[in-house]
Structure 1
């Protein structure tokens, strides 16, 4: 199983709007091939930093799969105005938790 870890830096004054925007675009992620679940977690000490952790069946399901899709383009289009800098994304391999 592959975990995508996305570090999402959000403008402090746009945190509430970001949560609403994420809820609107989340179905685009959820219907992706190989998607197994996700959690969006907000930082405690730094509430403007969100972590999106997505479980994928394989790395290929995320990249190039979802990342190359129209759904991904729309997903990012719905969120990009909330970011104060470019998100960082990396992958890890591990057991299901």
Structure 2
């Protein structure tokens, strides 16, 4: 299992619109092969920052699967306009 992590810096004042767009976009990712789960949380201290955590079977399920799909194109249309600056996405694996 791989954990995708991204801090999403949403333009101040567009948080409600972002949350609605994310609600629409969520099924685009959750139906992808290799997808396991998703959580999104909003910062209490900095309300325009969101923490996105996505569990995948593998990095490739995310990078070669979802990011190369037609659904990702729609995901970008819905969400990428909200970010300033564009978020850094990293993948993590469990330490045993």
Name the TM-score class by shorter chain: over 0.9
**Between Structure 1 and Structure 2, how many residues are aligned?**
95
Shift of 1:49: 0.7
Shift of 1:56: 0.3
The answer for unaligned runs of 5 or more in structure 2 is: none
- TM-score normalized by structure 2? 0.93
Q: Deviations over 1:33-84 (max 9, x none)?
A: 1000100011111111111100001111011111111111111110122112
Tell me the equivalent position of 1:7: 7
- TM-score normalized by structure 1? 0.92
The answer for unaligned runs of 5 or more in structure 1 is: none
Give 1:34-45 correspondences, 5 Å limit.
Answer: 34-45=34-45
Tell me the equivalent position of 2:92: 92
